[in-house]
Amino acid sequence: STVGANVGADGEGLPWSDLVILWGTNTLTANPHLWPYIRKARDNGATIIAIDPIRTRTAEQCDEWLPIRPGTDGALALAMMHVLVRDGLVDADYVERYTSGYDALCARLAEWTPDRAAQVTGLEMDEIEQLARDYGTTRPTLIRTLIGAEHREHGAMLFRTIACLPLLTGAWRERGGGL
């Protein structure tokens, strides 16, 4: 119901990504066959960011590690969307053509300022703002998740929330973009 089809981004498209967010995934351990594609993206100039409560092997290999409090990923995703909307970084054409419920989402996002999310997630407000701006201004962007976050209460809703990010930016338009 969030993305309209049971599809995800093509992992082999990662080398075309300019920003890769590894969200709750220890890729080197749990998904090692994907790492060569991530490394190729970095070789091509991509920034690789890990969002994970634990400084995993993967996080150590990334350009940046955001040590979020366990179970607060939804707050981070909502605050990122807040910044995208507030700063005019939404692909309005994509949203108009391929989504529904945008106005209701924006009403919900008004509550999730970066300051509020910082208090919940343990990240700095500036880190949240920068992540959102980088996500909203870099093309193409890819978010990679695995099962870490689904082991928490409301895990399915968390994935639906994260899935809204590439919908707002139109990241699905480009090879190397999406979720």
Per-residue model confidence (pLDDT) at position 158: 87
How does residue 44 score in pLDDT terms, banded at 50, 70 and 90?
Answer: very high
Compute the mean pLDDT over every residue in the chain, rounded to the nearest whole number.
Answer: 93
pLDDT higher than 70, residue 3: no
Residues 31-45, mean pLDDT to the nearest whole number:
96
**Which residues lie closer than 8 Å to 174 by C-beta, 6 or more apart?**
16, 139, 140
Kindly list the distances between the CA atom of residue 163 and the CA atoms of 43, 60, 171, in Å, as whole numbers in the listed order.
Answer: 26, 25, 11
Contact 114, 129 (CB under 8 A): yes
HEC string of the chain equals CCCCCCCCCCHHHHHHCCEEEEECCCHHHHCHHHHHHHHHHHHCCCEEEEECCCCCHHHHHCCEEECCCCCCHHHHHHHHHHHHHHCCCCCHHHHHHHCCCHHHHHHHHCCCCHHHHHHHHCCCHHHHHHHHHHHHHCCCEEEEECCCHHHCCCHHHHHHHHHHHHHHHCHHHCCCCEC
**CB-count exposure of residue 7 (10 Å: 0-12, 13-18, 19+):** exposed
Distance CA 171, CA 179 (A): 8
pLDDT higher than 70, residue 140: yes
pLDDT higher than 90, residue 8: no
Give the residue among 146, 175, 143 at the shortest CA–CA distance from 19: 143
Higher pLDDT, 9 or 47: 47
